[in-house]
Structure 1
Amino acid sequence: MKTYLVGGAVRDALLGLPAGDRDWVVVGATQAEMEAQGFRAVGKDFPVFLHPETQEEYALARTERKSGRGYRGFVVDADPSVTLEEDLQRRDFTLNAIARDADGTLVDPYGGARDLEARVLRHVGPAFSEDPLRVLRAARFMARFAPLGFTVAPDTLALMRQMADSGELSTLVPERVWQELRRALGYAQPSAFLRTLHDAGALRHVLPELDALYGVPQRAEFHPEIDTGVHQELVSDMAARLAPGDDVIGFAALTHDLGKALTPADVLPRHLGHEHAGLKPLQALCERLKVPSEHRELATMACREHLNVHRLFELRDSTVHDLLARCDAFRKPARIAQLALVCECDKRGRAGSAEDDYPQGRELVRLHAAACAINARDVARDGLSGPQIGEAVRNARIDAIAQARAASR
């Protein structure tokens, strides 16, 4: 019985990244022997155990054989005779197929350390194609590692294209797609997630609403990058820059322009009404992936309101108030700072605009604060009731917005 540190902990240490969770593989042991040493079995589909003191995960070395469609169609063999090299061979990428012995010696039969040095994401072997989830994992790894100079190996990208064409991606359950997307939005370069899936022909299978943006032109005077798909990549990366690790902001930024894919060809490159047209595909995406309500609500607001926020200085005081009311901003005030940030991501997510100022965001937050200072107690008068109180509060808040604007002039 021998134990090795494996996977991400070894990979990240070689890259000089902060240490995360540590995973271990055990060679030459049985489940009974692990439990006899105090390990607690937690694996459902294969033998994984928690260490009695550290609670770190220890898995028996295993092989996997494809037995059906999808990422669950595998037969697992965790016999004590399975070698470390056989266990590493079933892993997805060479950079995840490196083990470290107790004395620090690396076991690297598939050249993972070499690929780390070359900054290449490469699949271990042909078994990669047996698990469609690995296409999404490849894209997620690129969202994390592209800033370090990583690229996908050409043969790996070709294999991902074959997997996309095979129809296997249709077997992925929505929760797994959302999990990979959500994690990618928390990394430094979400555009690499989108671009990798698009280049592999996989984006149209898992996120067709976003794939449809590629190749759709925009007016060059507002969008020098022209292609809406490229604009979306820039916006997503700006969200990662301005709100690092915040996948709620990231998702709203990702989906704000879905309506542009629905613009009739004879209208292009203009996109009149795209903010309202985008609500239907956004709803479809959220329903399909079972997107949490917090993400869904901010995304809906950003899709519907981003043009209004961009032209905030042109709006009437009453229109500003009604924008805030549509966002339920008086009951959930934190939303407005989030909306302002998403709109800033949209404005700065354009070729040549990354360092632009966005005063509309600050102004929206300031006017919202002025309106929030008014409540029903402040305007209640004898004889007012029900709708009359509501109308009085609305008028007082509009006045507060007007006064705040006048004071800044």
Structure 2
Amino acid sequence: MKIYRVGGAVRDKLLGRAVKDIDYVVVGATVGEMLRLGYRAVGKDFPVFLHPKTNEEYALARTERKTAPGYHGFAFNTDPSVTLEDDLGRRDLTINAMAEDEDGKLIDPHHGAADVRDRVLRHVSPAFAEDPVRVLRVARFLARFAPLGFRVADETRELMRDMVAAGEVEHLVPERVWAELRKALGEPTPSAFLDCLRACGALRVVLPEIDALYGVPQRAEYHPEIDTGVHTQMVIDMAARLAPGDDLIGFCALTHDLGKALTPVEELPRHIMHEERGVAPLRAVAERLRVPNEHADLAILSCRLHLLAHRALELRPQTVLELFEKLDAFRKPQRLVQFLTVCEADKRGRLGCAESDYPQGEFLRAAFVATMDVKAVPFVEQGLQGPAIAEAQRKARVQAITDIMPPRGEADA
């Protein structure tokens, strides 16, 4: 029995990145041997074990054979005769198909180290085409590594196009699409995920509501980048900058303008009521991909209310309070913080605006603090009861917002 460190840990070591999760492949062992050594079996589709002391994952070396369309259509072979080279050969990208032995010696049959050096994402073998999830994984790895200068190899991009044309991507189950999208939105450059999927034709299959935004014009005085799809990419990248690794903020940023794809042609480049039009396609995405309720709820609020945030310095104090109430911010104050992060990403995710301030966010945060300082206790002490207490508190909150509203000239600046 021999044990090798494999995959991302080897790749990240060559890249000089911090190694977080370490996976191991075990060659020449059986399930029974692993259990006798104290490893705990956790794999469903194929034998994966947790180390009895470190809880790190150890998988038996395996090969796989395509038996049906889609992600689940595989038969696995984990016989002790399967070699390390056999196991590495079934992996997706060359940079993920390297191993290290116990002495730190690199085993690299597919020249992954050279592709790390040259910053290339390249498929290992034609078997790549058998698993449609790999299209999403390549796009996600590009979202992670684009800042380092990585690109997708021409032959890999062509193979991905062929997979889309063959209908393989249509067999992806919603859970896998969401899992990869969620991870991509937590990467440094999520726009690269959309770019990659769009280039091979997969975006219109897995996220048609996003694909529909490309080519839709916006008013140049507000959006110098013009194209709504380009704006969406800039917003999700800004969201990744403002809230690194936060896929909740990323999903809200991704979906905030879906209504612009539904604007009647005769109204373009204006987008009247796009915030309301966007709710239906957003719900469709959330339901189809089985997006968590927390993500769907905040995304819908961001879609509906982001223009109110942008106009915060022009709103009546009562409307500002209503914004807080619609967000349920008095029960969930963190939601206001998240919402304003999405709105700031939207405002700064425009050509030439990346370093601009967002005074609306500063004002709304200050206004919320002021309203939170208005407690019900004084009104109870005055003898008010029931609805009268809530009404008095509400009036006092409106006054608290009024007291910190900037002068109109400053608001218009």
Q: Fold conserved (TM > 0.5)?
A: yes
User: Which amino acid is the alignment partner of residue 50 of structure 2?
Assistant: L
User: 1:6–1:97: 8 Å Cα contact kept in structure 2?
Assistant: yes
- The one-character-per-residue Cα deviations of 1:120-156 (angstroms, maximum 9, x if unpaired) are 0011111111111111111111111111100011111
Partner of 2:304: 304
CA distance in 2, matches of 1:407, 1:390: 29
Partner of 1:3: 3
Partner of 2:212: 212
Partner of 2:81: 81
What is the aligned residue count? 409
CA distance in 2, matches of 1:71, 1:304: 36
TM-align CA RMSD: 1.6
Partner of 1:365: 365
CA distance in 2, matches of 1:382, 1:28: 80
Deviating more after overlay: 361-370 vs 33-42: 33-42
Percent identity, aligned pairs only, is: 63
2:341 corresponds to 1:356: no
Partner of 2:294: 294
CA distance in 1, matches of 2:11, 2:383: 71
CA distance in 2, matches of 1:278, 1:378: 42
User: Which amino acid is the alignment partner of residue 23 of structure 2?
Assistant: D
Q: How does 1:391-402 map to 2 (within 5 A)?
A: 391-402=391-402
CA distance in 2, matches of 1:228, 1:24: 44
User: Which amino acid is the alignment partner of residue 21 of structure 1?
Assistant: D
SS in 2 for 1:49: strand
Partner of 2:238: 238
Partner of 1:72: 72
TM-score (norm 2): 0.96
User: 1:379–1:396: 8 Å Cα contact kept in structure 2?
Assistant: no
Partner of 2:28: 28
TM-score (norm 1): 0.96
User: Which amino acid is the alignment partner of residue 8 of structure 2?
Assistant: G
Instruction: Using the TM superposition, give the Cα deviation of residue 17 of structure 1 relative to its aligned residue in structure 2, in angstroms.
Output: 0.4
User: Which amino acid is the alignment partner of residue 165 of structure 2?
Assistant: D
Quick one: structure 1 residues 59 and 396, their matched pair in 2 at CA, closer, same or farther if it must change by over 3 Å?
same
User: Which amino acid is the alignment partner of residue 305 of structure 2?
Assistant: E
- The one-character-per-residue Cα deviations of 1:296-317 (angstroms, maximum 9, x if unpaired) are 2221121111111111111111
Partner of 1:138: 138
**4+ residue runs of structure 1 moved beyond 4 angstroms?**
381-385, 406-409
Instruction: Using the TM superposition, give the Cα deviation of residue 238 of structure 1 relative to its aligned residue in structure 2, in angstroms.
Output: 0.4
Partner of 2:104: 104
SS in 1 for 2:267: coil
SS in 2 for 1:24: strand
Partner of 1:192: 192
Partner of 1:153: 153
CA distance in 1, matches of 2:281, 2:338: 22
Instruction: Using the TM superposition, give the Cα deviation of residue 352 of structure 1 relative to its aligned residue in structure 2, in angstroms.
Output: 0.8
Instruction: Using the TM superposition, give the Cα deviation of residue 12 of structure 1 relative to its aligned residue in structure 2, in angstroms.
Output: 0.4
Partner of 2:333: 333
- The one-character-per-residue Cα deviations of 1:52-92 (angstroms, maximum 9, x if unpaired) are 22221111111100011111111111111111111111000
Quick one: structure 1 residues 379 and 34, their matched pair in 2 at CA, closer, same or farther if it must change by over 3 Å?
same
CA distance in 2, matches of 1:285, 1:6: 35
CA distance in 2, matches of 1:377, 1:101: 68
- The one-character-per-residue Cα deviations of 1:12-42 (angstroms, maximum 9, x if unpaired) are 0000000111111111222222222222222
SS in 2 for 1:329: coil
- The one-character-per-residue Cα deviations of 1:351-398 (angstroms, maximum 9, x if unpaired) are 111001111111011111111212333334767544433322221111
Partner of 2:285: 285
CA distance in 2, matches of 1:91, 1:109: 12
CA distance in 2, matches of 1:297, 1:369: 23
CA distance in 2, matches of 1:38, 1:367: 58
CA distance in 2, matches of 1:168, 1:378: 65
Deviating more after overlay: 48-57 vs 120-129: 48-57
CA distance in 2, matches of 1:164, 1:386: 61
Deviating more after overlay: 108-117 vs 334-343: 334-343
Instruction: Using the TM superposition, give the Cα deviation of residue 291 of structure 1 relative to its aligned residue in structure 2, in angstroms.
Output: 1.4
SS in 2 for 1:183: helix
Partner of 1:121: 121
CA distance in 2, matches of 1:407, 1:235: 30
Partner of 1:273: 273
User: 2:313–2:406: 8 Å Cα contact kept in structure 1?
Assistant: no
CA distance in 2, matches of 1:382, 1:14: 70
User: 1:119–1:149: 8 Å Cα contact kept in structure 2?
Assistant: yes
CA distance in 1, matches of 2:42, 2:317: 59
CA distance in 2, matches of 1:45, 1:348: 44
User: 1:9–1:22: 8 Å Cα contact kept in structure 2?
Assistant: yes
User: Which blocks of at least 5 consecutive residues in structure 1 are unaligned?
Assistant: none
Partner of 2:51: 51
User: 2:69–2:168: 8 Å Cα contact kept in structure 1?
Assistant: yes
SS in 1 for 2:58: strand
SS in 1 for 2:266: coil
User: 1:340–1:362: 8 Å Cα contact kept in structure 2?
Assistant: no
Instruction: Using the TM superposition, give the Cα deviation of residue 202 of structure 1 relative to its aligned residue in structure 2, in angstroms.
Output: 0.6
Instruction: Using the TM superposition, give the Cα deviation of residue 233 of structure 1 relative to its aligned residue in structure 2, in angstroms.
Output: 0.5
User: Which amino acid is the alignment partner of residue 232 of structure 1?
Assistant: T
CA distance in 1, matches of 2:185, 2:270: 28
